[in-house]
Structure 1
Amino acid sequence: MKRVILSALILILGFIVGINAQNKQNIMLSKKQEKIITISAFTAKGELDKLQIELNAGLDAGLTVNEIKEVLVQIYAYAGFPRSLRGLQTFMTVLDQRKAKGINDNWGRDASPITDTRDKYERGKDILSQLTGEKVEGRPTTGYAAFSPEIETFLKEHLFADIFERDVLTYAEREMVTVSVLTSIGGVEPMLRSHMNLSLNVGITPEQLSQLINIIEMNVGKKEADDAKSVLNEVLQSKGLTTSEMVNGVKIEKVSFSNRFLINVVGNLYFPPNYDASKKYAAIVVGHPFGGVKEQTSGLHAQKMAELGYVTLAFDASHYGESGGYPRYIESPETRVEDFSAAVDFLSNHQNVDAEAIGVIGICGGGGYSVSAAQIDLRIKALATISMYDMGRARRQGLGDGITYEQRMKTLDEIGEQRTREFRGEPRKDIAAIPTVLSENDTENTREFFDYYRTSRGQHPNSTTSYSFTSLAPMMNFFPFVQIETISPRPLLFIIGERAVSAYFSEDAYNKAVEPKELFVVPGASHVDLYDRPEYMAASLPKLDSFFKQYLK
């Protein structure tokens, strides 16, 4: 068995890196905002079957009935009465269906009474002034407004007074509706440019507009999205803005792409220092631990590998973080595995990625899922795992194989009973992988995870570590190593800490795999130490670099 143990001297004198605990987080769309976009797009396009799904998802995400009604009413000003009315009729059907299931949706508040007694045209001008940030004086004397003064009056009095004056939605939310509709129907680039400018004025970020376009691309079409991207680039360039950031010479861009289940997966794409847009690069997908998000250890590893010359992609798994997927916080092994292939889909089509040189790093639970993905996705040319967890074995037998068969059967009975209760409308039961407060009975392993996920060291608001109780059943049914031998002749690297209680998962996988394979042990390191501790990453990062440089050619 090829088992490599570094000496403490090499750890001290080896590859020295500066570790950033967190990458700067962009302010991105909330789940409610994402649903405003898809509801607007499908209403404008008249795709009522898809609209029905998104209306349900919007209510589940926390949109009130009145907020959705307001979206559907506003759309008539941009897509016409027929589209708006069909959207409202579809929404009525959805509400009736949910009521029949015993779901009592939150209607939310009504619009506040209008107390301003001024002429509606003047009120509309004032609202437009707030949107543009510039005082609107008098009546326009050129363009369409001069040619057709009637429509100018309708715009000010009805759109900006009657509609925008209603405070059920914020100005930012109304601009999201408008930009979503204009992007979806296409061919109205001057109006889209105007409303993208208004969006920026009312607090929508360039990143949010970019994500909005990505959502339209996934749900409506690439042509519509490409046209909108061109408009957005023009708008941002005119304002000296960008949708990317730089960290240690690495450019980071927010991206999104769909998986096979049409779930929107959101990631951060990292470009190496001195990035040359005329070249193609080896690329690495980095998958986060169970309960984690891309802003934690997977993002840190993506950043560090990009600094070493790779294009890297850290993504949020479906149902977690900024990615889509409903219900939220459920663990679906099939979907988790699919997300890796979707990431490879994305990179394979990137103009600066060598599609024959794509590797994967899976961390903790993401490691087990990445092994499963590599068995069925031959585009993954090299696979490395860090502190890998076999989530199936862990849920069947517990950490250290301490759960008996009888205990497992009892849990499955409880899961079945819980599913029955939830089907008839009783509350969902969630469990937390990491406690929010430590007790004197917690193990050293639990305390180690707590130190990362519940403190400033690695804590992130998108990482709740909670998931549905019923997720335990499909996790128990997950066997990631059943055909691990089929990964050969592609190489496998398992990196573990000498003190990691999870090391036996990687040792099991290593023993079942065939060459080329390597088990690399970092002296003194625990499971979570390899997430971010500089003294241990000083050993793991050079190993990862040499591994991928050898095999991603």
Structure 2
Amino acid sequence: MRKIDLYIGIIILLLGVSGNTNAQDMLSKKQEKIVTISAFTARGDLDKLKPELVAGLEAGLTVNEIKEVLVHLYAYSGFPRSLRGLQTFMSVLDERKTAGISDNWGREASPITDTRDKYERGKDILSELQGIIPPEGRATAGYAGFSPEIETFLKEHLFADIFERDVLTYAQREMVTVSVIASLGGLEPMLNSHMNLSLNVGITPQQLQQMINIIEVNISKENADAANVVLNELLQSKGLSIDTELTEMVNGVKVVKVSFPNRFYNNVVGNLCFPPNYDANKEYSAIVIGHPFGGVKEQTSGLHALKMAELGYITLAFDATHYGESGGYPRYIESPEARVEDFSAAVDFLSNHQNVDANRIGVVGICGGGGYSVSAAQIDHRIKAVATISMYDMGRARRQGLGDVLTYEQRMKTLDDIGEQRTKEFAGQAKKDIVAIPTQLSENDTENTREFFDYYRTPRGGHPNSTASYSFTSLAPMMNFFPFVQIETISPRPLLFIVGERAVSAYFSEDAYSRAAEPKELFVIPNASHVDLYDKPEYQAISLLKLDSFFKQYLK
């Protein structure tokens, strides 16, 4: 057994005895190998690198993922280290091929179709990693003012050319970066910056600590000690510690930030909630909860995740691809295919959690998330029960308008405008976004608009990550989304549609209910509007009780 494997085994055993760390906070075997491969390559220790490359392949890393690790790290340790690592990997693959071993090459990077200026693309990606709104114009302070050339290289090459490649997720790239910088030593300010980015993309303090432990065993105690100082100072500045696991406790519910890739290799970030008196030796039913169109996990989906966890379920509320803390570039792209895929990716994650019974996973979709959840259940049989709250059929709403008021001619005009905008954006013009909810009300706004404003534009439900914006060109794929075409194929798995009696969107659920096969139920809450069901206690007291009885009946 290699030294690192023995060390990790001891650490896991000790943590398991202490009960302070959950399995989802531990590095996976694939992640461990990303750390060791990065560290040994950065140090130029090819004798130790070679067996770790083999171990990485055996742990499930694809050839292209390892290649991407070795290419990525050149930006931090130089071409000579990267090229020697690639040459060593080539010899490993040749030896395995001679021995009759066929390795999985995996997917290659998707073509880059964004034709905007690379500096702007790189700036946007860095801002996404930082969790901030990108500033206007070019940076001129600090090193950027002293050396504009290095600022250009940084944005155009590092964050556009390299980070934009989707073979690795942002979280995996930050693992590579932190491992390289910690292994080289003497770069503490840069290490602080990338540890902070790591937390932003869903890497937990425990995982950062484990990465440092791996550096201590394989590189040096001196480097690990310096990295520990950086990590502890960073966590203190955020009011966190290793013991807090990037979690918070809410009414006895532990909330842990997690991340996982979807089928498009975008990083999906979510909040995983554990019930009070959680027993790490038990298996639980689990619920995936998808947020409304334009929302994020810190709003109604996160509230429902907390409330359902209080009732005894493991729950996962996630940010959809292109929104919130999840990956996906450009931002604010509303892609029905990606939104549906995110539900299955969440099921992937929960199905591999040691405390989730993979045969007892349900979903709850709220508003636009409701239509996406129904669509996901049609093609993912691991979803055993589906519930929606104030469901919106985003396809019908974009084709026909709310209340089916748009004419065929209006729809055709919109499609013509979308085509014209796509032509402009391909030529390098700025992306056009739509603000779905006004920032200020006028006397002409409808009651429906006022209801959404009262939630999204006030402290009641507003959140900085929820801009209520989406790209204009997203209207076309949304128009082409028909979530109920095969809804009858969900049977014999059950469907529950919860709607407010006064909701202007109620006809979406009524239509879905009429098309669905048994078992199905349309549950109407008296006097409630569409947004009332997002968070108002008097209505949640009814809807949560119904959700609990539904899932307890069908997630047996």
- TM-score tier after normalising by the smaller chain length: 0.5 to 0.7
Q: Look up the SS of the partner of 1:406 in the other structure.
A: helix
Q: 2:421 aligns to what? A: 418
**Distance in structure 1 (CA, Å) of the matches to 2:227 and 2:385:** 42
Q: Computing the radius of gyration over CA atoms, which structure comes out larger, 1 or 2?
A: 1
**Distance in structure 2 (CA, Å) of the matches to 1:374 and 1:72:** 42
One-letter code aligned to 2:536: R
Correspondence 1:183-198 to 2 at 5 A: 187-188=218-219, 190=221, 193-198=224-229
Q: Look up the SS of the partner of 1:525 in the other structure.
A: coil
Q: 1:261 aligns to what? A: 264
What are the Cα deviations for residues 185-227 of structure 1, in whole angstroms up to 9, with x where unaligned?
9944846743542233442479999xxxxxxxxxxxxxxxxxx
Q: Look up the SS of the partner of 1:267 in the other structure.
A: strand
**Distance in structure 1 (CA, Å) of the matches to 2:458 and 2:538:** 20
Q: Is the 8 A contact 1:75 1:177 kept in 2?
A: no
Q: CA deviation at 1:251?
A: 1.1
One-letter code aligned to 1:264: N
One-letter code aligned to 1:486: T
Q: 1:409 aligns to what? A: 412
Correspondence 1:365-384 to 2 at 5 A: 365-384=368-387
Does residue 521 in structure 1 map to residue 521 in structure 2?
Answer: no
**Distance in structure 1 (CA, Å) of the matches to 2:239 and 2:345:** 22
Give 1:482's match in structure 2, choosing from 482, 485, 489. 485
**Distance in structure 2 (CA, Å) of the matches to 1:109 and 1:52:** 35
Q: 1:532 aligns to what? A: 535
Structure 1: 5+ residue runs without aligned partners?
1-36, 55-67, 88-96, 115-154, 210-234
Q: 2:513 aligns to what? A: 510
Q: 1:41 to 1:522 in 2, by over 3 A?
A: farther
**Distance in structure 1 (CA, Å) of the matches to 2:450 and 2:441:** 7
Q: Is the 8 A contact 1:481 1:512 kept in 2?
A: yes
Q: 1:307 aligns to what? A: 310
Q: 1:440 to 1:351 in 2, by over 3 A?
A: same
Does residue 457 in structure 1 map to residue 468 in structure 2?
Answer: no
Q: 1:82 aligns to what? A: 81
Give 1:361's match in structure 2, choosing from 344, 361, 364. 364
Q: Look up the SS of the partner of 1:438 in the other structure.
A: coil
One-letter code aligned to 1:111: Y
Q: 1:334 aligns to what? A: 337
Q: 1:530 to 1:482 in 2, by over 3 A?
A: same
Higher relative contact order (CA 8 A, sep 6+): 1
Q: 1:190 to 1:371 in 2, by over 3 A?
A: farther
Q: CA deviation at 1:111?
A: 3.0
One-letter code aligned to 2:308: M
Correspondence 1:439-454 to 2 at 5 A: 439-454=442-457
**Distance in structure 2 (CA, Å) of the matches to 1:447 and 1:51:** 51
Does residue 398 in structure 1 map to residue 387 in structure 2?
Answer: no
Give 2:143's match in structure 1, choosing from 111, 123, 130. 111
Q: Look up the SS of the partner of 1:283 in the other structure.
A: strand
Give 1:349's match in structure 2, choosing from 352, 365, 389. 352
**Distance in structure 1 (CA, Å) of the matches to 2:451 and 2:460:** 11
Q: Look up the SS of the partner of 1:330 in the other structure.
A: coil
Query: Normalized against structure 2, the TM-score is what?
Result: 0.67
Q: CA deviation at 1:72?
A: 6.2
Q: 1:353 to 1:533 in 2, by over 3 A?
A: same
> Does 434-443 or 494-503 show the bigger shift?
434-443
Does residue 548 in structure 1 map to residue 551 in structure 2?
Answer: yes
Q: Is the 8 A contact 1:103 1:425 kept in 2?
A: no
Does residue 436 in structure 1 map to residue 456 in structure 2?
Answer: no
**Distance in structure 2 (CA, Å) of the matches to 1:309 and 1:299:** 15
One-letter code aligned to 2:81: P
Q: Is the 8 A contact 1:182 1:191 kept in 2?
A: no
Q: 1:468 aligns to what? A: 471
Q: Look up the SS of the partner of 1:246 in the other structure.
A: strand
**Distance in structure 2 (CA, Å) of the matches to 1:317 and 1:481:** 21
Structure 2: 5+ residue runs without aligned partners?
1-33, 43-48, 54-61, 87-111, 121-137, 147-180, 199-207
Q: Look up the SS of the partner of 1:203 in the other structure.
A: helix
**Distance in structure 1 (CA, Å) of the matches to 2:432 and 2:67:** 26
Q: 1:453 to 1:241 in 2, by over 3 A?
A: closer
**Distance in structure 2 (CA, Å) of the matches to 1:98 and 1:410:** 25
What are the Cα deviations for residues 482-537 of structure 1, in whole angstroms up to 9, with x where unaligned?
00000000000000000000000000000000110000000000000000001111
What are the Cα deviations for residues 215-247 of structure 1, in whole angstroms up to 9, with x where unaligned?
xxxxxxxxxxxxxxxxxxxx93xxx54332211
Q: 2:498 aligns to what? A: 495
Correspondence 1:174-323 to 2 at 5 A: 187-188=218-219, 190=221, 193-204=224-235, 236=242, 240-323=243-326
**Distance in structure 1 (CA, Å) of the matches to 2:311 and 2:115:** 57
Q: Is the 8 A contact 1:358 1:382 kept in 2?
A: yes
> Does 40-49 or 516-525 show the bigger shift?
40-49
Correspondence 1:152-163 to 2 at 5 A: 160=186
Q: Is the 8 A contact 1:206 1:242 kept in 2?
A: no
**Distance in structure 1 (CA, Å) of the matches to 2:503 and 2:325:** 30
Correspondence 1:118-197 to 2 at 5 A: 160=186, 172-173=192-193, 187-188=218-219, 190=221, 193-197=224-228
Q: Is the 8 A contact 1:490 1:516 kept in 2?
A: yes
Q: 1:99 to 1:514 in 2, by over 3 A?
A: closer
One-letter code aligned to 1:173: S
Q: Is the 8 A contact 1:288 1:297 kept in 2?
A: yes
One-letter code aligned to 2:77: I
**Distance in structure 2 (CA, Å) of the matches to 1:99 and 1:527:** 37
**Distance in structure 2 (CA, Å) of the matches to 1:259 and 1:490:** 24
Q: CA deviation at 1:362?
A: 0.3
Q: 1:497 to 1:197 in 2, by over 3 A?
A: same
Q: Is the 8 A contact 1:361 1:370 kept in 2?
A: yes
**Distance in structure 2 (CA, Å) of the matches to 1:497 and 1:537:** 11
Q: 1:73 to 1:397 in 2, by over 3 A?
A: closer
Q: CA deviation at 1:439?
A: 1.0
Q: 1:408 to 1:274 in 2, by over 3 A?
A: same
**Distance in structure 2 (CA, Å) of the matches to 1:100 and 1:316:** 26
Q: CA deviation at 1:101?
A: 6.8
**Distance in structure 1 (CA, Å) of the matches to 2:220 and 2:271:** 28
**Distance in structure 2 (CA, Å) of the matches to 1:385 and 1:524:** 18
Q: Is the 8 A contact 2:343 2:373 kept in 1?
A: yes
Q: Is the 8 A contact 1:289 1:363 kept in 2?
A: yes
Q: 1:522 to 1:101 in 2, by over 3 A?
A: closer
**Distance in structure 1 (CA, Å) of the matches to 2:443 and 2:67:** 49
Q: Is the 8 A contact 2:74 2:81 kept in 1?
A: no
Correspondence 1:32-51 to 2 at 5 A: none
**Distance in structure 2 (CA, Å) of the matches to 1:439 and 1:478:** 32
**Distance in structure 1 (CA, Å) of the matches to 2:284 and 2:487:** 27
